[in-house]
Chain A
């Protein structure tokens, strides 16, 4: 069973900072990697799929990269509305759908 491990588990950054969150798969998953944003008390929202494709309406300050086992989510200039927990997800094929444990992002 492929495991998804995110780091860090939490981070605090200032408005305008460049923020990077990492997701590592226990074995290669090609580019079948998605990122979700869950704001406090809200439903998860799909941000990025196929490693780097932004879902419609997602601000361009969000970007994704990687392949194989190592992936990153980058926010180029952190905004207050980006406070959320971010989850990566492997989605190459059911029943092998798996989420990372989440990275909680706060404003310093």
Chain B
């Protein structure tokens, strides 16, 4: 069974960089699939942020592309999200998920990141 777990600071100051890591168990990232990040502001809908392949190939949502970096560490079986210059609008539950041809079939439990001074 594939299991994903997000980790990282729950509070980030405005203008700083949000950094999260997703640890994957039950499946080797090196074996394939894309791996993605999705966020959900409190009380609102889902927003895809970007996805990465085990070889480091990435796709980002165009409107976030200038601020987003997703990277992968196949040795640790982890992938990470960095979102720069955050504002209150970036406050959300951040999910990592397995991206199967752009479908998300396994999800982490999500982690709330609040942007506040």
Contacts and interface: CB of A to CB of B under 8 A. Distances in A.
A, B bound: yes
Interface of A: 1, 32, 34, 36, 38, 43-46, 49, 55, 87, 89, 91-95, 97-102
A95 B46 contact: no
B46 A94 contact: no
A91 B45 contact: no
Contacts of A45: 107
B31 interface: no
Chain A contact surface mostly: loop
Contacts of A36: 46, 104
A102 B45 contact: yes
Contact of A94 (B38, B45, B59, B105): B59
A81 B102 CA distance: 27
8 contacts: A1-B62, A32-B102, A44-B38, A91-B101, A91-B102, A94-B59, A97-B61, A99-B46
Interface in B17-61: 34, 38, 45-48, 50-51, 59-61
Range of interface residues on B (Cβ < 8 Å)? 20 to 34
A55 B104 CA distance: 11
B47 A55 contact: no
Residue from the set B51, B61, B103 with the largest chain A CB neighbour count within 10 Å: B103
A98 B60 CA distance: 12
A99 B62 contact: no
Across the A-B interface, give the 7 residue pairs with the lowest CB-CB distance, nearest first: A94-B59, A91-B102, A97-B48, A99-B46, A95-B59, A43-B107, A102-B45
